[in-house]
């Protein structure tokens, strides 16, 4: 079996020890991307010249003995809804196909300050609205490296596909209802959605502001911890970012998990879950038991309302956030409109894809006079109940374990014409966003069809270190996270 072995930590250490140069690291990363991207269509842009120029600067710093940063020389990719001064930021939409951000997102600035080097933008569902990365108006569907006829999940599908098919890179994604964790599950990698407020959202093109969170997709929990150590923390440019101190995530990984209490929510194992998914997750729970983790059943009774609550709140916030794309200030502008109303209508009709239009229309409806109380306000009340479920459960346990998705990766085109089927695959991930808790997905095995299964852990708000610690302990005992897919560029 081919294994994914190199890590971003090893790259940093190799540079500091003088065993390699940053330019060599970037050339290798470019080679890997070019080797797999024709099959996967995971990137929207590649920053070859800029990346090599930054690598040369870093090599000069190292030669002079200057401090290079915690992630010196590590190549990183950026989901195409996170602003970078290099290249364009399109959110995979025809409404802003040539938008060049005048600034870097805070997460990008932090990675640059740590010596990391941006190398590419990754494909996604338009404005993050999708669960399969089939809704990209700029690149088209991304393909799963485990089976190229299947979806990689979404909306961070490009990042997940590259994380699985390459090694030694860091991948930024965003998660509004599972957009990091679900593709991590489908592609057999590790993906963390931090607590809401743990990582700055400044520079993220907003989908649903009370749900959006930037995170990372990597081969392992250790790599996720290294990345989160850099990007986490208070940002004065984001009023929703928390002022809490950032833990030493890498140090926390080494603490023993024996004695931790792991909750198994009965509502997260419904009959609709695929039998092999259920079996692999149960086997994963047994691994924790062998590690000395205590398990007990917990109840999250309002779980059945999570998906409709998420759909209403996210659509309402999307309707508000995307109102700015009107053909007047910036973005696509319809030609020769007959008046202002037609300019608005045609610009948005021509620029937005079908899924984005669907969610805008739902959101506008639930915010309209006469329906605001019946739909949006009620959804906000149910959201509070969902959060209270977690608060009650976390009085009994330290973390909660469940499948990441009820199914594995499905064929491209299988669900795209039925929005309700697509929304259903997020049923186990949206609660984390509604409750603002951290969630991590990591591989716990393969099905008989050789498709990855993801195991998910939820933690208390701002206890991201606990979910990372549990995932790391699991990965130190098992080798599922090292398995490489058939489409793989690593040596």
User: How far apart are the two ends of the chain, measured CA to CA in Å?
Assistant: 13
Q: What pLDDT score was predicted for residue 330?
A: 79
Residue 491 pLDDT grade (very low, low, confident, very high; cuts 50, 70, 90) = low
Q: What pLDDT score was predicted for residue 157?
A: 98
132 vs 125: CA distance, rounded Å: 7
Sorted by sequence, the CB contacts under 8 Å of residue 216 that are 6+ apart come out as 170, 171, 172, 173, 180, 191, 192, 223, 224, 227, 228, 231
Q: Is the pLDDT of residue 431 over 50?
A: yes
Q: Which two tokens stand for residue 149?
A: 């006829």
Q: What pLDDT score was predicted for residue 2?
A: 57
Domain count for the chain = 1
In a domain? residue 418: yes
Q: What pLDDT score was predicted for residue 331?
A: 86
Mean predicted confidence (pLDDT) in 130-144: 97
In a domain? residue 83: yes
Q: What is the CA radius of gyration of the chain?
A: 21
CA proximity to 284, closest of 402, 139, 108, 427: 402
Mean predicted confidence (pLDDT) in 37-48: 98
In a domain? residue 185: yes
- Four-residue CA torsion sign, 368, 374, 375, 380: positive
In a domain? residue 174: yes
Look at residue 136 and give its three-state secondary structure. Answer: coil
The answer to whether residues 50 and 184 touch, using CB atoms and an 8 Å cutoff, is no
227-262: per-residue pLDDT in tens? 999 999 999 999 999 999 999 999 999 999 999 999
Q: Give me the residue label for tokens 């669907």.
A: 358
DSSP state of 20: S
In a domain? residue 370: no
- Four-residue CA torsion sign, 126, 130, 131, 137: negative
54 vs 416: CA distance, rounded Å: 40
Strand order in the sheet with 399-403: 43-46, 117-122, 75-79, 170-175, 213-218, 190-193, 439-446, 452-459, 399-403, 261-265, 294-298
- Count helices and strands (H / E) in the chain: 16, 11
Q: What pLDDT score was predicted for residue 10?
A: 92
373 vs 147: CA distance, rounded Å: 45
Q: Where are the beta strands (DSSP E) in 107-164?
A: 117-122
Q: What pLDDT score was predicted for residue 52?
A: 98
pTM above the 0.75 mark?
yes
116 vs 59: CA distance, rounded Å: 12
Q: Is the pLDDT of residue 195 over 80?
A: yes
Q: Which two tokens stand for residue 257?
A: 């998990």
86 vs 47: CA distance, rounded Å: 8
Q: Is the pLDDT of residue 428 over 50?
A: yes
Q: Which two tokens stand for residue 113?
A: 């300050």
Active site residues: 79, 155, 179
> Quick one: what percent of the chain has pLDDT higher than 70?
99
CATH of the domain at 262: 3.90.1300.10
Q: What pLDDT score was predicted for residue 435?
A: 98
Q: What pLDDT score was predicted for residue 1?
A: 43
Residue span of the structural domain in which 443 resides: 8-266+392-482
70-117: per-residue pLDDT in tens? 999 999 999 999 999 999 999 999 999 999 999 999 999 999 999 999
The answer to whether residues 171 and 223 touch, using CB atoms and an 8 Å cutoff, is no
433-459: per-residue pLDDT in tens? 999 999 999 999 999 999 999 999 999
In a domain? residue 352: no
The answer to whether residues 146 and 188 touch, using CB atoms and an 8 Å cutoff, is yes
**If you write DSSP's letter for every residue of 272-299 in order, what string do you get?**
TS-HHHHHHHHHHHHHHHHTT-EEEEE-
Q: Is the pLDDT of residue 5 over 70?
A: no
Q: Is the pLDDT of residue 219 over 70?
A: yes
In a domain? residue 145: yes
Mean predicted confidence (pLDDT) in 125-148: 98
287-346: per-residue pLDDT in tens? 999 999 999 999 999 999 999 999 999 999 999 999 999 999 878 999 999 999 999 999
Q: Is the pLDDT of residue 6 over 80?
A: no
Q: What pLDDT score was predicted for residue 3?
A: 56
In a domain? residue 386: no
- Kindly report the average pLDDT of the chain as a whole number: 96
DSSP state of 257: -
The answer to whether residues 211 and 313 touch, using CB atoms and an 8 Å cutoff, is yes
């Amino acid at each position: 079996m081919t294994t994914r072995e190199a890590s971003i930590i090893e790259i940093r250490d190799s540079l500091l020890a003088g065993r390699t140069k940053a330019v060599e690291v970037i050339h290798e990363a470019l080679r890997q991307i070019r080797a797999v991207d024709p099959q996967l269509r995971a990137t929207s842009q590649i920053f070859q010249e800029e990346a090599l120029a930054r690598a040369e600067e870093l090599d000069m710093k190292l030669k002079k003995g200057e401090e290079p940063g915690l992630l010196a020389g590590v190549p990183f990719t950026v989901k195409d809804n996170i602003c970078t001064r290099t290249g364009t930021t399109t959110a995979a939409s025809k409404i802003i196909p040539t938008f060049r951000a005048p600034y870097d997102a805070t997460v990008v600035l932090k990675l640059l300050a740590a010596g990391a080097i941006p190398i590419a933008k990754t494909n996604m569902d338009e404005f993050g609205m999708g669960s399969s990365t089939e809704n990209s108006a700029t690149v088209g569907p991304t393909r799963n490296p485990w089976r190229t006829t299947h979806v990689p999940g979404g909306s961070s599908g490009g990042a997940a596909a590259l994380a699985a098919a390459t090694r030694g890179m860091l991948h930024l994604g965003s998660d509004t209802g599972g957009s990091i964790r679900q593709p991590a599950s489908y592609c057999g990698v590790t993906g963390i959605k931090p607590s809401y407020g743990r990582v700055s959202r400044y520079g993220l093109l907003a989908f649903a502001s009370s749900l959006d969170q930037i995170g990372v997709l990597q081969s392992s929990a250790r790599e996720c911890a290294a990345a989160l150590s850099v990007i986490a923390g208070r940002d004065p440019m984001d009023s929703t970012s928390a002022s809490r101190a950032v833990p030493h995530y890498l140090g926390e990984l080494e603490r023993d998990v024996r004695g931790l209490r792991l909750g198994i929510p009965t509502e997260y194992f419904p009959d609709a879950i695929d039998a092999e998914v259920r079996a692999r997750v149960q086997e994963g729970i047994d691994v924790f038991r062998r590690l000395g983790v205590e398990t007990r059943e917990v109840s999250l009774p309002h779980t059945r309302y999570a998906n409709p609550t998420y759909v209403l709140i996210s659509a309402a916030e999307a309707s508000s956030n995307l109102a700015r794309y009107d053909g007047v200030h910036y973005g696509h502008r319809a030609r020769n409109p007959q008046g202002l109303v037609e300019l608005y209508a045609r610009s948005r009709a021509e620029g937005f894809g079908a899924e984005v239009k669907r969610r805008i229309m739902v959101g506008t409806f639930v915010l309209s006079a006469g329906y605001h109380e019946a739909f949006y306000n009620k959804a906000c009340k149910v959201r509070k109940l969902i959060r209270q479920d977690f608060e009650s459960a976390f009085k009994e346990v330290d973390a909660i374990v469940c499948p990441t998705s009820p199914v594995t990766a499905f064929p491209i085109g299988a669900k795209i014409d039925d929005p309700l089927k697509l929304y259903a695959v997020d049923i186990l991930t949206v609660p984390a966003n509604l409750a603002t808790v951290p969630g991590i997905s990591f591989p716990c095995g393969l099905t008989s069809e050789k498709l990855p299964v993801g195991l998910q852990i939820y933690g208390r708000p701002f206890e991201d270190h606990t979910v990372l610690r549990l995932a790391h302990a699991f990965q130190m005992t098992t080798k599922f996270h090292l398995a490489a897919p058939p489409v793989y560029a690593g040596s």
